[in-house]
Structure 1
């Protein structure tokens, strides 16, 4: 197992060869942090992805990761709501917001450092 495999297991990726510009970092940070604002969770990373995807791979990567993670969280909420019938969903409805906030903060920190970050447990649809 090499360093790349180890990093992908723990939800991180190697440093980019060229550090991203300040504006790229800012947009990458916004794509993560705006995702936890109620009501715009999926919309913010989607808009950033659609507007900035051709301008830089760093912003595109982070916006895509944030969008995929928010879609995964939304699907988990839907499944949890269905599982409320058997009471298991209640536990998930308490855990999901905490997991969402913690992982978004970690991703935001990584983006501010100019590093690529892949969310663990994320369905990659985009």
Structure 2
């Protein structure tokens, strides 16, 4: 614990980390609130400057990872369109005498679609859990006066 840090610096740094949890209440609150607090105090307090950069870099990195996981599912989603319309009820709609309203699960073969979406959803859930756990740890450690560094963070703000 650094004894030269004031209680105000430690509390303000902890509030910056805790403000990232506002994403659950305010859209993009995990970026906007810490950014406002950091910009208002970065020139006077070096500990607040360090922690503001850490919190913002971590949140931006998690948004990037989540977007990449979502983007990876797009080819599978587009590729599943041919399966939906091939040899199914949709193809037989012009043949009015053979309409069969009994739909089987094989009429909609989405299995190629659900695996990537499920994996991307799992990745997003893990990222949300990592965000929650490390934000709480960072808030507590920063309030103690420790310089905390988040894992899996890309240094966008140096």
**Structure 1 stretches of 5 or more lacking a match?**
1-14
Are 1:121 and 2:152 an aligned pair?
A: yes
Q: Name the CA distance, whole Å, in 2 between partners of 1:64 and 1:97.
A: 20
Structure-2 residue corresponding to 1:60: 49
Q: Name the CA distance, whole Å, in 2 between partners of 1:44 and 1:65.
A: 14
Structure-2 residue corresponding to 1:70: 59
8 Å Cα contact 1:45/1:64 also seen in 2? no
For residues 14-59 of structure 1, the C-alpha deviation after alignment (integer angstroms, 9 at most, x for no partner) is x44x431111111101110110112200112211221111111111
Other structure's SS at 1:37 match = helix
TM-score, normalising length from structure 2? 0.66
Structure-1 residue corresponding to 2:31: 42
Q: Which range moved further: 81-90 or 68-77? A: 81-90
**Aligned to 2:122, which of 79, 82, 91?**
91
| Displaced runs of 4 or more, over 6 A | none
CA RMSD of aligned residues (A): 1.3
Aligned length: 111
For the pair shown, the structure with the greater C-alpha radius of gyration is: 2
Structure-2 residue corresponding to 1:23: 8
Structure-1 residue corresponding to 2:80: none
Q: CA deviation at 1:111?
A: 0.6
For residues 65-85 of structure 1, the C-alpha deviation after alignment (integer angstroms, 9 at most, x for no partner) is 000000001101111211234
Q: Which range moved further: 62-71 or 30-39? A: 30-39
